[in-house]
Amino acid sequence: MLIGHFTERPYQDPESGYFGATGLPIKDLDLSNDIYDPVVGSNLYNRYLDEKIYAEEMGFDALMLNEHHSTPFCMGGAMNVEASILARITNKAKIVLLGNILPIWDDPLWLVEQLAMIDMISKGRLVSGWVRGTGRESVAHNAPPAYNWERFQEAHDFIVKAWTEPGPFRWEGKHYQYRYVNPWVRPYQKPHPQIMLPGVVSKDSVMWAARQRIPYVMLATQLEPTRQSFQIYKDTAKEEGYEAGSQNFGYLWKVHVDETEELADEVARKFVQGPSNPFLAGNEGTANPALMKLPGLTSRSRVLPTQQVATANRGGQLSRSYEEQVEDYTIIAGTPKTVIPKIRHVLEYLRPGSIFFWDGDGAMTHDDQMRSLRLMGEEVIPAVREIADELGLKSPFEVSPRTGEPINESTADIVVPAAD
């Protein structure tokens, strides 16, 4: 099993008026950056990097980053910069990007080069995840939503070819054209870094991932709709002639561990007390109808079961309280003694080979996060590894998502050269 750590890296400024339990709700693309304080931002960037370093020290296999733009709920607008820093200051953990928003890149050759550099600096620890993005990113980066899906697929094909085939070559696609493709940088991993696809809404994306044999990661979704969505992947895989296993699936959800049950509950409530986040039930802010109805962005009929119970800002109708999320396991909080059995329930129900604990978010402080990371490292992660071994849950780095065969030096899809 792959066990990762994640936080959205929210912009936490109590003086802004948009923070905390009494903060004003935020509407997508409706808040001026006039309230942004670079000193606060600088301190937060360094805090979040320090927490990633400690997460590695506590035994996490992976450090997950994500990318959003023009919003205070995620400071990852230049996620690849963060990844580059982590590539140099960490030693063992995989750097998981979930992910770069392919359709907004007018020059994916630049992305080819950036990601290959991260992979080389980290000595082969990059996991490259790609997403289609939301209406926010399409509008903020002047990307045509009607071609979102086409641009995503073409950019993916182009990047993989540029990583794996010798140049120079020409690329004459519908959305991207290059007279000369010969990047003077190649990934450290061969043939290229493992690719993952995260998501929530699009049925087309899940089926595409299954056809590509790319692991699919569900993001903070309820358990039964998640299992139903995974079944769509499994059914597509069967049509493609293979059986999808735990190595083909990942799951991210909110988990916080603390020293007492009372403190854990107090801190976990801060998940819903930071700047409004359309991906965080209970604090999703105000939906922007214009961004939800951009033509062609996502099919309104070909949606996953998870979309039906998503927040309004993700195309659904549901806003769930903190208590409801605790009840349905999408927030797990407590001491290691009470958290571990609940994590087991999730693993038994969904059977993912990769998991990511979403923590340190909302209004949580640095101290809140560091306590949780320490307890995870001391007690939770070792127990989860035992549970995963008992359940036979393998990551895509243990069993190939393409062949279903155990990965070793002779059968690995992705080979990492020996370090000098």
Angle at 136 between CA 288 and CA 255, to 5 degrees: 90
Q: Give the integer Cα–Cα distance in Å for 34 and 379.
A: 43
Quick one: pLDDT at residue 315?
Answer: 47
C-alpha distance from residue 190 to each of 104, 117, 187 (Å): 27, 14, 7
With a pLDDT cut of 70, the percent of the chain lying above it is: 92
> Of the ranges 230-244, 269-283, 292-306, which one carries the lowest mean pLDDT score?
292-306
Q: Indicate if the pLDDT at residue 290 is higher than 90.
A: no
For residue 271, name the pLDDT band (cuts at 50, 70, 90). Answer: very high
> CB neighbours of 22 closer than 8 A, spacing ≥ 6?
none
- Residues 253-260 have a mean pLDDT of 98
Quick one: pLDDT at residue 306?
Answer: 79
For residue 299, name the pLDDT band (cuts at 50, 70, 90). Answer: low
pLDDT higher at 394 or 141: 394
C-alpha distance from residue 223 to each of 3, 195, 228, 276 (Å): 18, 24, 9, 23
Quick one: pLDDT at residue 308?
Answer: 63
3-state helix, strand, coil in the chain (%, to 5): 45, 15, 40
> CB neighbours of 248 closer than 8 A, spacing ≥ 6?
210, 213, 215, 216, 233, 237, 353, 396, 401
Q: Which residue has the tokens 């899940």?
A: 206
The residues with which 128 forms a beta bridge, in sequence order, are 97, 195
Q: Which two tokens stand for residue 12?
A: 């936490």
Quick one: pLDDT at residue 314?
Answer: 47
Quick one: pLDDT at residue 413?
Answer: 60
- Residues 86-99 have a mean pLDDT of 97
Helices (H) and strands (E) in the chain — how many of each?
Answer: 14, 11
> Which residue from 403, 401, 63 is spatially nearest to 216, judged by alpha carbons?
401
Strands 169-172 and 177-181, by their bridges, are antiparallel
pLDDT tens-digit readout, 317-374: 447 889 999 999 999 999 999 999 999 999 999 999 999 999 999 999 999 999 999 9
pLDDT tens-digit readout, 16-69: 888 766 678 888 788 899 999 999 999 999 999 999 999 999 999 999 999 999
Q: Candidates 2.40.170.20, 3.20.20.30, 3.40.50.920, 3.30.1360.120; correct CATH number of 2-391?
A: 3.20.20.30
Q: Which two tokens stand for residue 64?
A: 């997950």
For residue 137, name the pLDDT band (cuts at 50, 70, 90). Answer: confident
For residue 131, name the pLDDT band (cuts at 50, 70, 90). Answer: very high
What is the average pLDDT value for the chain, to the nearest integer? Answer: 91
Q: Which two tokens stand for residue 358?
A: 């979403």
Quick one: pLDDT at residue 142?
Answer: 83
